[in-house]
Amino acid sequence: MFRNSILRLSSSIQPYGTKSRLVTIVCQRSFYSTQNSGIEFKENSIQVNDTAYHRDDWTNVTPTVLSKLERKLHLQPRNPIGIIRQLIEDHFNDFATFNNVSPIVTTQQNFDDLLIPKDHPSRTKSDNYYFNKDTVLRAHTSAHQLQGLASGANKFLISGDVYRRDEIDSSHYPVFHQIEGLAYFGGQDEDQVAAIQADLEKAKPIPANIEIVDDTVIHAGNPKQDRHSQVVMTPLVAHLKHSINSMICHLFADEPNLKVRWIEAYFPFTSPSYEVEIFYQGEWLEVLGCGVVQQTLLDKGNRHDAVGWAFGMGLERLAMVLFGIPDIRLFWSQDNRFIDQFTPGQINKFQAFSKYPPCIKDISFWLPPTEWHDNNFCESIRGVAGDLVENVKVIDDFVHPKTNRRSLCYRIMYRSMDRNVTNDEINEIQEKVRSTVEQEFGVELREKK
């Protein structure tokens, strides 16, 4: 099944890197009112502070996900997400920083400005949280590239919370954090080359304990853009690669043997495009996407005369690796035993506090004739169980030989990060999950297990 981007935690395929996918629309409408900090679900609109977003067929934001808007983990100085964001900002010390931009953006910003085609798979309702067809919770910090350009800064970083509907396990959460970087050089070819070279001369060399594996070359499969000259592209790509490699070295400064690998990629908003992976404790981890900014994007930002590069990186995966954090929900924990372990500016290993026992429940049902999406099902469980749900997986998938109907059985693991849960309490939640799923998706529940 389709997994989310490298900038999430698990997968190999990036939503912005894929070219086609089935599109399914499942309408989900929830009526919900809350005293929660300026957020109100009304019959025809959703109110966030002073703004009302009208509902339409695209509306699928949920109260659970909106309750995260105010947390801004990347701005909390002692949260590992905040610590990494700060270390990156310190490293790129000549970049302007934007780290408090609202995550509610237009679909123009999230997709069109980035040249993402109208039928691109990353736009689907089952991957995003829409207020309505024109307004969405940003799915990546790239949504603000044009605003960054409009600021006038020729080098900038944008960090923030980003939102994607997804499955549930220890490394997926519907809200995560990214940092975006963009640098451009204006003027004639020779001015651009001179500015790039001047930066490269100032740059510190890559330390010897880091091995960089890079056999990427600019070629027809991952081409330079027609408007670009090779004379500028060679130093620009060298500048991009050096900037990224040295940021990784800065973050992994204490790592005795680090391997960094560059591979080719595809994004609608860059060409050539790359992904960067790190070999860490026996596996290659995808950590970021980057490339030479499409000239049409710079044109839209009124920087016709400039060439530039950009990158986007997820912070959770890096923080889990660097701080040894085993479960993504921990970043959201308000338990002092978590947050008290960390110090701004410092990367130290997390000491696990006792894990409370899980409570496991299965749910099985016959699917309705419409298309089925795990993400929507998981979203619905999160709506009922919140952070008590640790992991959801399919344990049986069966098609009846006579009727051809498909039946699925999911195993839901409930566990709290900071207390024991009781069987009675989880039974009650499971009952709610059963009735919600029945109503929302029209499944036919099978016997309880």
Q: Which residues bind ligand DAH (CB under 6 A)?
A: 5, 7, 14, 16, 140, 142, 180, 267, 270, 289-291, 310-312
Q: What are the tokens at 259?
A: 């391997």
Closest CB to ligand DAH among 307 and 381?
307
Using CA atoms, how far apart are residues 169 and 163, in angstroms rounded to an integer?
16
Under a CB-based contact definition with an 8 Å cutoff, are residues 411 and 362 in contact? yes
Closest CB to ligand DAH among 266 and 441?
266
Task: Give the strand order in the sheet containing 210-214.
Answer: 96-98, 155-163, 175-185, 307-314, 283-293, 270-280, 258-267, 210-214
Distance of closest approach, residue 146 Cβ to ligand DAH, in angstroms = 12
Closest CB to ligand DAH among 291 and 383?
291
Distance of closest approach, residue 17 Cβ to ligand DAH, in angstroms = 7
Under a CB-based contact definition with an 8 Å cutoff, are residues 416 and 356 in contact? yes
- For residue 77, which of 90, 66, 92 has the smallest C-alpha distance? 90
Q: Phi, psi (5° rounding) for residue 198?
A: -60, -40
Closest CB to ligand DAH among 320 and 381?
320
Closest CB to ligand DAH among 7 and 168?
7
CA distances, 91 to each of 10, 95, 296 (Å): 26, 9, 29
CB atoms under 10 Å from CB of 31, counted, come to: 8
DSSP state letter for 36: S
Q: Phi, psi (5° rounding) for residue 410?
A: -105, 140
CA distances, 280 to each of 8, 258, 259, 284 (Å): 17, 7, 8, 6
| 25 CB-near residues (< 8 Å, 6+ apart) | 57, 124, 125
Q: What are the tokens at 167?
A: 């499955």
Closest CB to ligand DAH among 160 and 312?
312
Distance of closest approach, residue 398 Cβ to ligand DAH, in angstroms = 35
Closest CB to ligand DAH among 55 and 228?
228
Closest CB to ligand DAH among 13 and 445?
13
Distance of closest approach, residue 178 Cβ to ligand DAH, in angstroms = 6
**Closest residue to bound ligand DAH by CB:** 312
Closest CB to ligand DAH among 174 and 291?
291
Closest CB to ligand DAH among 128 and 430?
128
Using CA atoms, how far apart are residues 179 and 183, in angstroms rounded to an integer?
14
Mark residue 185 as left, alpha or beta (left: phi above 0; alpha: psi -120 to 50; beta: remaining).
beta
Distance of closest approach, residue 142 Cβ to ligand DAH, in angstroms = 4
Under a CB-based contact definition with an 8 Å cutoff, are residues 54 and 45 in contact? yes
Distance of closest approach, residue 143 Cβ to ligand DAH, in angstroms = 8
Distance of closest approach, residue 60 Cβ to ligand DAH, in angstroms = 20
Distance of closest approach, residue 314 Cβ to ligand DAH, in angstroms = 8
Distance of closest approach, residue 316 Cβ to ligand DAH, in angstroms = 13
CB atoms under 10 Å from CB of 114, counted, come to: 23
Under a CB-based contact definition with an 8 Å cutoff, are residues 185 and 154 in contact? yes
Distance of closest approach, residue 268 Cβ to ligand DAH, in angstroms = 9
